[in-house]
Amino acid sequence: MEPTLLRGDFLLAWKWPYRNYGTYGIGLTSNREPDPAVLPARGDIVLFRYNGDPGIIYIKRVIGLPGDRVVIDRGVLTINKQVVAQRDIGDSPDGVRTSEETVDGRRYRIIRGSPDPGVSASMAVPPGHYVVLGDNREASNDSRHWGFVPQHYLIGRPLWIWWSVGEDGRVRRDRIGMPVR
């Protein structure tokens, strides 16, 4: 999820909207469906498990909602026949090419590499499912590779970074308390 999240970021997540209170939490369960008013919107970041490896909690950005048609072709993202706006930000000091993407009025940064012509997708999102992508588009294992995420796999929504440690072991104080968007 770089550049939004970095290795060593620890997150506080809100699990209540998805009725998933018991998963690594306070031990409550609910058979009720999630409240539609708090289900993910395009651009939201979500935590979820997936069948391929249920021991891993994934974190990705929701791009496609139930009923959407999502097409990814040579790095161009289209949702319901509307090309998603991307504005080139340029290279970061370490040479990473970044862009700002806007979905439903929400802006966030993504890392863009050379689009892999072999990783294209055209997906009609079924009811109760989502299409998710990583913000590091060319290095992300996401819906382009393993398909839709069922709603009942959702665990929660990250709220903010409560702790962050760099690869050198130093605390990144500037990231502590940052909201996750």
pLDDT attached to residue 49: 87
Instruction: Report the predicted TM-score, pTM, of the whole model to 2 decimal places.
Output: 0.84
List average pLDDT for each run of 10 residues in the chain, which is 181 residues long. Answer: 91 78 52 71 93 84 98 91 92 80 92 68 95 91 92 91 95 95 89
Please choose, from the candidates 12, 7, 4, 6, the residue with its C-alpha nearest in 3D space to the C-alpha of residue 157: 12
Residue 94 neighbours by CB under 8 Å, 6+ apart: none
What pLDDT score was predicted for residue 70? 98
Q: What is the spatial distance between Cα 180 and Cα 162, in angstroms, rounded to a whole number? A: 10
Enumerate domains of the chain plus CATH numbers.
9-175 (2.10.109.10)
